[in-house]
Copies of this chain bind each other. A is one copy, B any other.
């Protein structure tokens, strides 16, 4: 079994490049956040779905027949060949939660309630070059409604998103969910007489609105402009008349939803698809209103451009509006934490049938970072009460103390390392973030008492303090053995 063991070099103890581990509070804080979101999704009638992490490459839709390995962007491998059969299937780790939903919606289409509301939370994997803060495994948190063409589904998703953000602790006023509609843009392009093969170009320029402003986009849509470096950027070549409704669309946001949709109605002119899009936004606005979701939480905003190239109807984006300090200490808005919209091709690849769907995806790591920045991440910061070991032979007594504390609902543990060096035990308690340490030497045992040390109060004591110095601290109280739980409770408040 162990042959040649000595000859083999030791393996490196490292996570693969681009992967990481999550310890303690990292795990707990994310769990607390996702549990709160799940509670909201559940209350809105969404059911949890946990698909397998592994899919066939065929089902994922990443199959590239012209390469040996279809692993562009995904982690893929080939199954063993079936004896006597052909070559094995290519399998891959899911790269998002939408592709598995598509597969599930097709595979179980006769069993699932339809419309099917589902939420999913879990890791996804991307075979990309890792970078600072960019990992090849990360969490997604999605909610989608499959099989409903009604904009009521879109309104519900947006209301639910706003409720979820508040449930995790983002205050009203610190976030905004914005809604746009691809159909409105299509109508505007139709009215402007933009050719179909130009529309991707136009979308690219619209996307620069945040950077170059209204006049910049105007130039880029028409004859072009000089950028900051002085280089000339060619325009799309639209006339001013063509550009006008596009600019009107982008700047259509009024004082309220009614004003915005009126502006949009002008921008789309006589376009049928555009009018349909404006009607949809109007309906969504009306539904949000009766659902008690005010415009300071969810609002129609045609300046939302992200996702317009991908989605086919309403498009959503949730942004956190408070400022944080970036790496360089500069103030900046936190920005987007969720996005989504309506898409129709979900199961078509599998069944040939168009099934309407709409959904939202929360950026789990970004939202968690926001909560941390605001001190809202919610998990405890304190470690367990540590029962120290003064007398190795009385380990059972120390275990009994920890058991009593746990029975009272208090997190507690006995020091299980080598007890010889008491300083090491204090260092350990410090590393564990312990709020309280329990000490009982031979003399205390004889006298039927324990020392209860408030480590938060006594935080300034150096870990190297001698036992005598330690004992003289005011943060330490001697109580009768049967008063242990009460004293710890008192200190923990």
| CB-based nearest B residue for A392 | B150
Q: Is the interface of A mostly helix, strand, loop or mixed?
A: mixed
In the complex the two chains form, is A350's CB within 8 Å of B13's CB?
yes
CB of A143 closer than 8 Å to a CB of B: no
B interface footprint on A27-59 (CB within 8 Å = 1, 0 otherwise): 110010000000000111101111111111011
Q: A13-B350, A403-B292 are in contact. Are A114 and B417 (CB under 8 A)?
A: yes
Residue of B nearest to A163 (CB): B406
The answer to whether A153 touches B416, judged by C-beta atoms less than 8 angstroms apart, is yes
Which B-chain residue is minimally distant from A24 (CB atoms)?
Answer: B47
Closest to A159 in B: B403
A237 in the interface (beta carbon within 8 A): no
Given the known interface contacts A53-B137, A414-B152, the answer about A13 and B44 at a Cβ–Cβ threshold of 8 Å is: no
Neighbour of A22 across the interface among B31, B50, B402, B413, CB < 8 A: B50
**Copies in the assembly, this chain:** 2
Q: Provide the residues of chain B in CB contact with A107, threshold 8 Å.
A: 13-15
A56-B12, A58-B12 known; A48 and B20 CB under 8 Å? no
- Is there contact, CB below 8 Å, between A156 and B115? no
A427 CB, min distance to chain B CBs, angstroms: 9
Within 8 A of B (CB), among A396-417: 396-400, 402-403, 406-407, 409-417
A residues near B, CB below 8 A?
10-17, 19-24, 26-28, 31, 42-45, 47-56, 58-59, 61, 63, 71, 75-77, 79, 89, 91, 93, 100, 103-104, 106-108, 113-115, 117, 123, 125, 136-137, 145, 147-148, 150, 152-153, 155-156, 159, 283, 286-287, 289-292, 347, 349-352, 383-384, 386, 395-400, 402-403, 406-407, 409-417, 428, 431-432
Known: A11-B61, A31-B48. 16 other contacts (CB 8 A): A13-B351, A15-B51, A15-B52, A44-B402, A45-B412, A45-B432, A52-B137, A54-B136, A54-B137, A71-B77, A75-B77, A115-B417, A148-B416, A148-B417, A152-B399, A283-B396
A-B contact list, 22 entries, CB within 8 Å:
A10-B349, A10-B351, A12-B58, A12-B59, A13-B59, A13-B351, A14-B107, A20-B52, A21-B100, A21-B104, A21-B108, A22-B49, A44-B406, A53-B137, A54-B75, A93-B93, A147-B417, A152-B399, A152-B416, A283-B396, A287-B399, A292-B407
